[in-house]
Structure 1
Amino acid sequence: MPFLDPATLLATFGVIGVFVILFAETGLLVGFFLPGDSLLFTAGLLTSTTVGATALPLPAVLIAAASGALLGAQTGYLIGRRAGTALRHRATRPGLVAAMDRSQRLLDAYGHRRAIVLARFVPVVRTVLNPMAGALGTPARVFLVWQVIGGLVWTVGLVLAGHLLGTAVPGVDRYLLPIVGLIVVASLVPLGVELLRRRRAVHR
């Protein structure tokens, strides 16, 4: 969908768009479809090169990305604490239901600390796990500390990866579309595997 193209979003909304999109993706269930990974990487790339007239300052992108992701996750957690177990029953989309199941498994398998960090790197799960953690009673201090760690590693890591690639490879912006496509495909693999697993489990 063109309106979800990271380069288009960044050209239209700039640094403010980075904050708003990451806040919505990590804090509001309705933002599960937003392109967090590819947006971060593309924003980093645009701090070292330009696509059209788009050029972004690295410090501003890092601040917007980190603050959007951290405030969003904390908002999602607080929504979950207020909604409680009713949260699961409100989700009807198959992708969200699968992400909730995966979030539950992450929390059970790795404990709250590791699951909160790992979820940052799985699309849709990073949207769902924050309110799930609140609904399941993850201690507020534990959630805050580990969502900050995970959020900083995720946002700063992807932005700097894009920035370094743009610095190291002159003219890399000409290949932005296939690069973003690869990131999108790679980020959707875990969710695709989970949906396939769920379908097989239903048919058994």
Structure 2
Amino acid sequence: MDQIIEFLKHLINPEWIITHGGFYLILFIIFAETGLFVGFFLPGDSLLFVAGIYSGLLCESFFNIPFFALMLLVALAGILGNMVGYWFGRKSGPMLYRKKDTFLFRQKHLHQAHEFYEKYGGGAIFVARFLPIVRTFAPIVAGIVEMDRKKFMFYNIIGSFAWVFSLMLAGHYLDKYFPDLKNHLELIIIIIILITTLPVLIKLFFGKAKKPIGAGQVEASSQDQQQE
């Protein structure tokens, strides 16, 4: 049990993921965080930024592929993750809203993602990429409300490329201009986490309280979406 807890701690440390798990673990984490509801705690934003900083090492360790190809594969992992989340939402439907809270699942995260989707519509799939926790549940909610597949895939693809390329390129070029950036990774990661989680925290503590979403509301949302 102690070993499992220790491993979970490592999974939220981007530098450890890159130096010990390599590119394969990065692909898995991006896939899991963007489509599996158990992956909401994984460090997507900071991992991508640090991966950009270590881009040279990652490219060399993965068949010496170009940096662009590296980013492309990561973006594809994000696209596939959202597709799995969407499929899971379509299949599970209202059942998730009756599921009890567990260590890896919280009803409030699902409700927040649903409110976010209702507010921004299809664009929520794009915007959610840049919001921790919300990006995990947004594709699941899109599947639950039966969002049009073509519309979902459009926002899924452009959102994944925008998210992955912006963060990895930022880390890559900042490291070139500031070579000692690796010496301050802990501070950088903390700053990224604070910036990306700030909108979620504001919503959590200052947003208006709403009644829990029930199966009836999910079905109504589904009917509205189909009418569109």
Normalised to the residue count of structure 1, the TM-score between the two structures is: 0.88
- Give the one of 1, 9, 20 matched to 1:12: 20
**In structure 2, distance between residues paired with 1:96 and 1:149:** 28
1:69 aligns with 2:71: no
CA displacement at 1:60 relative to structure 2: 4.8
Tell me if structure 1 keeps the 8 A contact 2:130–2:163: yes
- Looking at structure 2, the residues matched to 176 and 102 of structure 1 have their Cα atoms a distance apart, in angstroms, of 30
CA shift in 2, pair 1:47/1:28, >3 Å: same
Residue 197 of structure 2 aligns to a residue in which SS?
Answer: helix
Is 2:108 the counterpart of 1:98? yes
Does 1:42 find its partner at 2:50? Answer: yes
* SS of corresponding position for 2:185: helix
Letter in 2 for 1:26: T
Counterpart selection for 2:87 from 78, 84, 96: 78
Residues 123, 96 of structure 1: CA spacing in aligned structure 2 closer, same or farther, 3 A cutoff? farther
**2:152 corresponds to which residue?**
143
How far apart are 1:120 and its partner, in Å?
0.6
After superposition, the Cα gap between the structure-2 partners of 1:21 and 1:3, relative to the gap in structure 1 and judged at 3 Å, is closer
Alpha-carbon distance in structure 2 between the residues aligned to 1:173 and 1:105: 38
CA distance in 2, matches of 1:191, 1:96: 15
Report the counterpart of residue 33 of structure 1 in structure 2: 41
87-96 or 119-128, which moves further after superposition? Answer: 87-96
**Following the alignment from structure 2 to structure 1, what is the Cα–Cα distance between the partners of residues 43 and 200?**
14
What letter is aligned with 2:125? I
SS at match of 2:209: helix
Number of matched pairs: 194
Instruction: Decide which structure has the larger Cα Rg and report it.
Output: 2
Pairwise CA distance, 1:17: 1.2
Match of 2:117 among 96, 107, 129: 107
Choose the corresponding residue for 1:22, options 5, 30, 38. 30
Structure 2: gaps spanning 5 or more residues = 1-8, 60-66, 211-228
Identity of aligned residues (%): 33
Match of 1:52 in 2: none
1:81-128 CA distances to partner (integer Å, 9 max, x unpaired)?
A: 00112122225259843332222222222222x111111111000000
* Number of the residue aligned with 2:177: 168
RMSD (Å) for aligned C-alpha atoms = 2.0
Q: Could you list the structure 1 runs, at least 4 aligned residues long, displaced by more than 4 angstroms after superposition.
A: none
Structure 1: gaps (5+ residues):
49-54
| TM-score normalised per structure 2 | 0.79
CA contact (8 A) 1:96 1:128 kept: no
